[in-house]
Copies of this chain bind each other. A is one copy, B any other.
Amino acid sequence: MLSFQRLITINKQAETPVYLQIAHALIYHIRMGVLRRGIQLPASRELASLLGVNRNTVVAALDELQAQGWIVMKPRAGVFVADNLPEIKPQALSDNNTRYAAQTSFDLNTARMVPFPYIHKRGTSSYVLDDGLPDVRLAPMDALLREMRRLSNISAFSRHLSRGAAAGVQSLLDALTVYLNDTRGLHISPSQLMITRGAQMGIFLAAQLIIQPGDHVIVGEPGYHAANLTFQQAGGVLHPIPVDDQGLDVDAIEQLCKRIKVRLLYVVPHHHYPTSVMLSPERRMRLLELAAAYKFAVIEDDYDYDYHYLSSPVMPMASLDHSGSVIYIGTLNKTLAPAIRMGFMVAPSNLIDAAAGLRRVIDYQGDALMEGALATLFTDGAVTRHVNKVVRVYQERRDHFCSLLSSLDVSFKIPEGGMAVWTRFNNAPVAEVAAKAAKIGLHMSDGSLFNHNATRLGFASLDFEEQEAAIALLAKALS
């Protein structure tokens, strides 16, 4: 006779009812071959006494096992492990807790694996000079959550909580169409718009739909690593084009177009990533003309449109495009918070339809409650008020940060917009500076994504005091 006390451990404090704990333990031992097919189990009364539980509990466990097909109760004969289960050779019981943990590897399709860097491992640092993120403490989360709660109590909204459209909740498509036409000088209808989880999903969907393996893709150098990886993942061949203080070198692009068939160009004209320079109006227009002449698509990533300090935001290239070359991508993650995932893509409607279809495959649809609430925040002006407020705050933070930074042995230009300063280290390798900084409680990127002994230092998420503390630590790391 097997020792059932040893096979079955009962924890009366656990959330799982005791009868299920018994059933699960018996299934496990049947599966492991300890309880072989066809063998008889003790009677319920005996088992109850062995385990120190009420007989009804054991009866419930056996009913459960019978319902699931693991045991058979034969009238006047007893309870048996089902004999139609495959024969198993017993396993060492020590497997129990380690069998999953032991699976440390799985044979993967390495072609699909993406070496995506984690640039925000803050760890336990007291201060973070981030990549250019907003201050989430200023985000209108209260208004958003209040509206989500209101909508969730409206029965007419509840059908949106059931299955919905992959392109987004209609009320948000409508509200965002008006907002984009009004603020970005676009002339779109809702069918040319879809809601995404952020700029990255827009880049992914567009890349998948436009790039065929081997297609040539123009990107900036230095450029945005995440976009570059996304294009490579879709099979694109990257052609890095130098970026100077007016943005992408358009002459170099024209030379390239004369030599090879370019399929796609990725550009952040408002504040180039990582250098934050603005693409000049002249180059914007030449770029659009090259796109029309050489028939390549343009992904215009306008991830921080609102944050411009020299003037009002510069209207996107999409507002000037009349050859239909531009896919305009934006995000609300910089307006709300990076971890509130909401963005958009503007494109001809056949591309939007295809992107919505592809989106079904990757995450089915967006978050309807949040989309619905955001629609209200657009139409009642809360988004505009929030943007107006934080642009002033971030401009002051930029100025304060740059004046602090100017006391260090680094080179930079005061950015006209965006949320980070592109900072070159004059006499110290940035990787060493970052390593020293980490030891004294300051996290910053080590610049390895850029290869220019430079990195982005975000100023928007820190108030004056925090900036002063962070720069004091950076000064120490530089000394």
CB within 8 Å of B: which residues of A? 14-16, 20, 23-24, 27-28, 31, 63-64, 67-70, 82, 84-86, 88, 91, 95-109, 111-116, 118-120, 122, 130-131, 133, 136-137, 139, 141-142, 145-146, 148-149, 152-153, 155, 158-166, 182-183, 185-189, 192, 196-198, 200-201, 204, 208-212, 226, 229-230, 233, 280-282, 285-286, 289, 297, 310-312, 314-315, 319-322, 324, 337-341, 347-351, 354, 357-358, 360-370, 381, 384, 461
Inter-subunit contact A114/B68 (CB<8 Å): no
Closest 5 CB pairs of A and B: A339-B368, A103-B324, A67-B311, A103-B348, A120-B163
Known contacts being A20-B312, A86-B285, A155-B137, is A160 close to B347, with CB within 8 Å? no
A381 and B14 alpha carbons, distance in the complex (Å): 12
Inter-chain CA distance A155–B466, complex, in Å, is: 15
A27 touches B364 (CB 8 A): no
User: B130–A182 contact, CB under 8 A?
Assistant: no
Chain B residues with CB under 8 Å of A63's CB are: 311
Query: Given A114-B358, A361-B229, A384-B15, are A161 and B339 neighbors across the interface (CB < 8 Å)?
Result: yes
Distance of A143 Cα from B131 Cα, bound (Å): 34
Q: Can you give 9 contacting A-B residue pairs, CB < 8 Å?
A: A15-B381, A27-B320, A85-B285, A99-B187, A100-B187, A106-B347, A111-B212, A161-B339, A204-B361
Residue in A24, A100, A289 with the greatest tally of chain B CB atoms within 10 Å: A100
| B88 & A285 in contact (Cβ 8 Å cutoff) | yes
Are A354 and B82 in contact, CB atoms less than 8 angstroms apart? no
How many Å from the CB of A64 to the closest CB on chain B?
5
In the assembled complex, the CB of A263 is this many whole angstroms from the nearest CB of chain B, namely 9
Does B116 lie within 8 Å of A86, measured CB to CB?
no
B96, B100, B354: the one within 8 Å of A108 (CB): B354
Q: State in angstroms the CA–CA spacing of A362 and B148 once bound together.
A: 25
Partner of A136, one of B162, B230, B315, B321: B162
Chain B residue at minimum C-beta to C-beta distance from A32: B322
Quick one: which of B91, B137, B233 contacts A322, CB cutoff 8 A? B91
Q: How far is the CB of A409 from chain B (nearest CB, A)?
A: 28
Set B15, B137, B188, B286: member contacting A182, Cβ < 8 A: B15
A14-B182, A145-B148 known; A86 and B282 CB under 8 Å? yes
Q: Which of B99, B112, B338, B360 contacts A358 (CB 8 A)?
A: B112
**A341 CB, min distance to chain B CBs, angstroms:** 5
Given A85-B282, A281-B70, A286-B86, also A320-B31 (CB < 8 A)? yes
